[in-house]
Structure 1
Amino acid sequence: MSSWQNEVRRSKRTHLFSFVGGTRPKGHVAEVYQSAVISQCKNSKNCILVFCKHWVSAWDAADEILGAMKRARFCIQPPGDTRTRRSFEWYIPERREDWSVFIRPEQLNKIEDVLSKIPEKEIQRMREVVIWMIPRVTYAHPSANWAEIGFRDAVDTALVELTKRVRHIKDNSSTGTAVAPGKLALWEA
Structure 2
Amino acid sequence: MYSTSLGANNVFNLLVKKQVHLTSTMKINHTDDDSCLNRYIYIHDGLPARFNYDFLNNCESLSPGTSSSNKPSMCPQLVNLGLGPDVSNPEGVVTNKSWYKTNPYLLEVIFHNRMKKYECLTSNSTLASAIYVPFYPSMDVGVHLWDSNVEIRDASAKDFVKWILGQPEWRKMWGRDHFFGSGRTAWDFRRQRDDSSDWGSKLRFLPESLNMTMLTIEGSEWKNDIAILYLTNFHPTKDSEVVAWQNKVRKQERPYLFTFAGAPRPNLEDSIWGKLIEHCQASNNCNFLHCTEKICGNPITVMTAFQSSVYCLEPVGDSFTRRSAFDSFLAGCIPVFFHPTTAYTRYLWYLPKDHNKYSVFIPAKDGKDLKEGRIENILLGISKEKVAAMREEVIRLIPKLVYADPRGRLKTPDAFDIAVQGMLDRIVNVRKVMNEGRDPSADFAGLENDKFKFPDSID
TM-score, normalisation: structure 2: 0.36
Instruction: Give the direction of change, closer, same or farther, for the CA distance of 1:138–1:39 in structure 2 (3 Å limit).
Output: same
Offset at 1:126? 0.8
Q: Which amino acid aligns with 2:304?
A: G
Give the aligned partner of residue 279 of structure 2: 40
In 1, distance between residues paired with 2:294 and 2:347? Answer: 24
Q: Which of the residues 67, 76, 87 maps onto 2:313?
A: 76
Name the SS of the counterpart of 2:271 in structure 1. Answer: helix
Instruction: Give the direction of change, closer, same or farther, for the CA distance of 1:40–1:146 in structure 2 (3 Å limit).
Output: same
Please state if 1:50 is matched with 2:311: no
Instruction: Give the direction of change, closer, same or farther, for the CA distance of 1:89–1:22 in structure 2 (3 Å limit).
Output: farther
Please state if 1:128 is matched with 2:389: no
In 1, distance between residues paired with 2:265 and 2:427? Answer: 38
In 2, distance between residues paired with 1:6 and 1:88? Answer: 25
Offset at 1:161? 1.2
Q: What's the CA shift string for 1:98-136, capped at 9, x where partnerless?
A: 111111234453110111000011111111111112111
8 A contact 1:33–1:108 mirrored in 2: no
Instruction: Give the direction of change, closer, same or farther, for the CA distance of 1:161–1:2 in structure 2 (3 Å limit).
Output: same
In 2, distance between residues paired with 1:154 and 1:9? Answer: 21
8 A contact 1:91–1:157 mirrored in 2: yes
In 2, distance between residues paired with 1:121 and 1:91? Answer: 24
8 A contact 2:253–2:308 mirrored in 1: yes
Please state if 1:165 is matched with 2:165: no
In 2, distance between residues paired with 1:57 and 1:167? Answer: 45
Offset at 1:146? 2.8
Name the SS of the counterpart of 2:294 in structure 1. Answer: coil
Offset at 1:68? 1.4
Unaligned residue ranges in structure 2 (runs of 5+): 1-241, 323-341, 453-459
In 2, distance between residues paired with 1:164 and 1:42? Answer: 47
Q: Which amino acid aligns with 2:421?
A: V
Q: What's the CA shift string for 1:46-77, capped at 9, x where partnerless?
A: 01111102x336333x2221111111110000
8 A contact 1:18–1:75 mirrored in 2: yes
Unaligned residue ranges in structure 1 (runs of 5+): none
Give the aligned partner of residue 249 of structure 2: 8
Q: Which amino acid aligns with 2:377?
A: D
Q: What's the CA shift string for 1:136-162, capped at 9, x where partnerless?
A: 121212133332xxx211111111111
Q: Which amino acid aligns with 2:435?
A: S
In 2, distance between residues paired with 1:27 and 1:107? Answer: 16
Give the aligned partner of residue 416 of structure 2: 155
8 A contact 1:107–1:114 mirrored in 2: no
Aligned residues: 178
Q: Which amino acid aligns with 2:278?
A: S
In 2, distance between residues paired with 1:37 and 1:45? Answer: 14
Q: Of the two, which has the highest radius of gyration?
A: 2
Name the SS of the counterpart of 1:56 in structure 2. Answer: helix
Name the SS of the counterpart of 1:75 in structure 2. Answer: strand
Identity of aligned residues (%): 29
In 1, distance between residues paired with 2:360 and 2:380? Answer: 12
Which of the two has greater helix per residue?
1
8 A contact 2:266–2:274 mirrored in 1: no
In 2, distance between residues paired with 1:73 and 1:104? Answer: 19
| Structure possessing the higher relative contact order (Cα contacts under 8 Å, 6 or more residues apart) | 1
Name the SS of the counterpart of 1:18 in structure 2. Answer: strand
Give the aligned partner of residue 353 of structure 2: 94
In 1, distance between residues paired with 2:290 and 2:301? Answer: 10
In 1, distance between residues paired with 2:428 and 2:266? Answer: 43
Cα RMSD after superposing both structures: 2.6
Q: Which amino acid aligns with 2:296?
A: A
Please state if 1:118 is matched with 2:382: yes
Of residues 119-128 and 17-26 in structure 1, the stretch that sits farther from structure 2 once superposed is 17-26
Instruction: Give the direction of change, closer, same or farther, for the CA distance of 1:170–1:3 in structure 2 (3 Å limit).
Output: same
In 2, distance between residues paired with 1:81 and 1:5? Answer: 30
Of residues 117-126 and 158-167 in structure 1, the stretch that sits farther from structure 2 once superposed is 158-167
8 A contact 1:17–1:46 mirrored in 2: yes
In 2, distance between residues paired with 1:174 and 1:57? Answer: 54
